[in-house]
Structure formats: C-alpha cells, structure tokens
Amino acid sequence: MKFGEKLKYLRTEKKLTQAELAKAVGVSLRTYASYEQEGRYPRKRELYGKLAEQLGCDTNYLLTEDEEFVSQAGAQYGSRGRQQAEQLVAELSGMFAGGELSDADKDAVMIALQKAYFDCKEDNKKYTPKKYRKDSIFD
C-alpha cells in the first residue's frame, strides 16, 4: 500500500476530513491532498510523526511502502534477510523524505543496485532451461 493510500485509509477510519487532518498536523489542505492524491511525500521528517500520532499508527508504517518486499525477504532468507530488507527500506525512505545524499553516496547506491541486479540475473540463470537461454556477455 502506498503512502497516500495509507493516509486515506487511516483518515477515513478515524472519520476525519482532509481539512481536519491537515489543520491538526500543521499543513495546508492543498499540501495534504497532494499526499493522498498525487503521490507526494512530506519534506520534513517531523511531519511523519505528527501524522502517525493523529492517525494512531506507527511512524514506520507510514514510512515503509514495501511490506511485501520485507516479508518476501524474510521468507526467503530468514530473520537476517528480513532485518537487512527493513534497514534498506528505512534508509531509502530517508532519501525520499527530503534527505540529502552526497555524490559519493549516490554513486554507492547506484553501484549497489547494479550489483544486486546482476547478482539476481546470475542466480536466476540457473533456473532457466538451456533451450531458452540466450548467449550473453556474462557466459
């Protein structure tokens, strides 16, 4: 479930209007509506805490959108895989919540993603029947 979908669901459960919740957390109606409808995210971390408090949920619930990813990592790789997936989601959430990354950190993220991509491709190769495999530069 995406951030905006979670906000809308929790807000309707609490029987609040967008205007009421926006006022309670200190943002304009337009800003709050953009969270629910346009897929935007708060720029300040403190706002996640205010939203969680008003909606009666955990801040991490609002920050994480990839519960399926975390669950799958846990099922496939055990508790350590789940812990690593949660850490990855939390760290990447910071990037999208107004966090700033240096150029070196951006390069490190890109290199890590590329490595993960190629590792997965190599791992999945063994499950592809030989008659469907294409020769590639990785052979």
Boundaries of every domain in the chain: 3-63, 67-127
Distance CA 106, CA 31 (A): 28
Burial of residue 119 (number of CB atoms within 10 Å: 0-12, 13-18, 19+): exposed
pLDDT along the chain (139 residues), means of 10: 87 94 95 91 90 88 69 72 73 60 67 69 72 57
Question: CATH code for 3-63?
Answer: 1.10.260.40
Give the type of residue at 112.
Answer: A
Q: Which residues contact 9 (CB under 8 A, 6 or more apart)?
A: 1
Distance CA 15, CA 125 (A): 50
Predicted TM-score (pTM) above 0.85: no
pLDDT at 89: 67
